[in-house]
Every structure is written in C-alpha cells, then in structure tokens.
Amino acid sequence: MSAGPGPFATLRAGPFRAVIFDMDGVLVDSEPAFLEAVNQVLAEEGRSIGFERYQRLLGTSVSVTWRGVLEMVGLPADDLQSYVERYEEALLETLGRPRPLLAGVEALIRELRGRQVPIGLATSSRQAWVEALLLGGVGLPLDTFDAVVWRQMVAKSKPAPDLYLKAAHLLAVQPERCVAVEDTPAGIASAKAAGMYAVQVRAASTAFPPIEDADLVIDTLEHFPMAVVETD
C-alpha cells in the first residue's frame, strides 16, 4: 500500500462517518468498455483513439469527453449530439457484458454495511449506464448503497463537487465527515472541492499514477483503512 501526504489522523480529526464510492475504475474495471464504445463510433468516421490519449478524459462528463475526443482525432464538433447518441447506444451493450467487481470491493461493502456505516455512490455516469453496468454487467443491486447519485441529478459533473455534495446530503452526513474513493484526477478534485477525504485506488487496468492531491493512495480496496471509519 502506498500513502499520500500522511495518515488520516494527521490530516483530519475524524473519525469519518460515511464512505462514498465512484463507480468506473473503483468498483469495476469498466473504463475499457467506454473506450471500446468510443472507438466503435469513431470507426464509422475512419478514426480511432488509443488509451494514452483517451486517459486524460477519464472521469469527465460525456460532452467534455466527446469534445476532447473529436479534437484529438481531428473531427469537427458541429454534430456533437449525433456522436453522443451513437456512443450511448454502443456503450449500453459494452457495459452490460458480464464482468467482476474489482479486488476488495465486495468484502469492503459487506464490512461497511455490517458496521452500519452509510455508503454512497457518486458517479459521472448517466443513470442508464449505471444500471447497465451494476445491474446487468455485475449483478450488484442499487440498494446496496444508501444513496446513489448519477450525472443527471446535479448541475455540474466532476471535477465540480456537485455529485459528492449531493451524495453527502442524501446520506445526511456532513461532507467533511465523508471519505471519497476515487481513481481519476477529476474525481479526486471533485472530492476535495466537496471538502472530503479523498482516497485514490489503483486497482483498475486504467489506473493513474499516484495523484498528488489525493490524501491517501492504495493499490486495492483490500487496503482500505477501516480504522478511521466511525461505527455504531
């Protein structure tokens, strides 16, 4: 396990009362499905994009992603909505394929629920994508979480704090008493802007190098520090 600036106790009085997870790249190694869908659409235009360029867009909204993709491959963004619609159709199919949870996810959720720690989901993905991935691809019921927040429920996506602030509100826990679990720079920035303790997990195939602004960096959720979470 690698650490960020220092242990929880030196950075926040704590203990923390709730844990809020990102979805893609945290619970499931699903980012390759998004890239596959992007390239299915680009193939119709005789273009493609590699992961190295696509990675910088991870964690952003669909419109930001597609504006960036089109700029990278030299296509005009005049018909952005058409690209987004074709992408969403392809994406629902790729996300719905069977896939496992990442290492440590199931055990951590089980332990948090057993200790009656409120848990939330805060994702830049849209509702249909969340349902396709968690219900279809993974078989994880949405009521596993005490609060679920997706893109359409807030004004701004990550790196703005809206998703995490909404999740904390639904959990009835102050943001500064929440731990956010993320994998991308945009996600870490969102959690920090919300005033939360930000943990970067690097278990997915698309993992970033340690993010400087993360409060703690762990290799998998098997290393999540349960000692800092307040239990009833």
pLDDT digits (tens, 9 = 90+) for 18-28: 999 999 999 99
Provide the token pair at 98.
Answer: 């069977």
d(CA 122, CA 166): 8
- Using CA atoms, how far residue 68 sits from 38, 47, 190, in Å, is 12, 14, 19
- 137-157: pLDDT as tens digits: 999 999 999 999 999 999 999
pLDDT value at residue 15: 87
The ranges assigned to domains in the chain are 8-30+99-228, 31-95
d(CA 182, CA 198): 7
Residue 10 has pLDDT above 50, yes or no: no
For residues 104, 106, 109, 110, the Cα torsion angle rounded to the nearest 10 degrees is -120
What's the whole-number mean pLDDT along residues 83-100?
95
What's the whole-number mean pLDDT along residues 38-67?
92
CATH of 8-30+99-228, one of 3.40.1050.10, 3.40.50.1000, 1.10.150.20, 3.30.565.10: 3.40.50.1000
Categorize the per-residue pLDDT at 12 as very low, low, confident or very high, splitting at 50, 70 and 90: low
d(CA 105, CA 93): 24
Residues with a catalytic annotation lie at 22
Q: Can you point out the beta strands (E) in 11-73?
A: 18-21
What is the pTM assigned to this prediction?
Answer: 0.88
Q: Are 102 and 27 in contact (CB under 8 A)?
A: yes
pLDDT value at residue 230: 84
